[in-house]
A = this chain, B = another copy of it.
Amino acid sequence: MNDQLSTTFAALADPTRRAILARLATGEASVGELAAPFDMTMPAITKHLNVLERAGLIVRGREAQWRPCKLKADPLKGAASWLDDYRQHWEQ
C-alpha cells in the first residue's frame, strides 16, 4: 500500500481525520483549534495530522508558536474519479 489512491482512502477511513478536513474546509486552523472538539490528547491529533500531511491532504505552515494547517483537496480528485467509474452500478 504505497500508491496515492490507497493512501488517500486510508487517510479518509477515520472519522476524526474526516472531521479535521471538514473543519479545515472552512479555513485554516491551528493544531489546538483542531484538537478542541475531540476527547483526545494533542499527540493523537498530531499523529492524525501527520497521516493527512503524508496523504497530501493538508499543508502545515508556521506562525510564531502555532502551526496553522490548511486543506489541500487535490488528492480527493483521484478518489472521486475512481468512485465515478462505479456510479452506473449504484444508480441501478
Residues in chain A within 8 A of chain B (CB atoms): 1, 3, 5-7, 9-10, 12-15, 18, 21-22, 25, 71, 73-74, 76-77, 79-80, 82-87, 89-90
Contact = CB atoms under 8 A, between A and B. Distances in A.
Contacts of A21: 86
A43 to B, nearest CB: 19
The interface residues of chain A, by DSSP majority, are classed as helix
Copies of chain A in the complex: 2
A89 B70 CA distance: 11
B86 A76 contact: yes
Given A12-B9, A13-B10, A87 B80 contact: yes
B6 A13 contact: yes
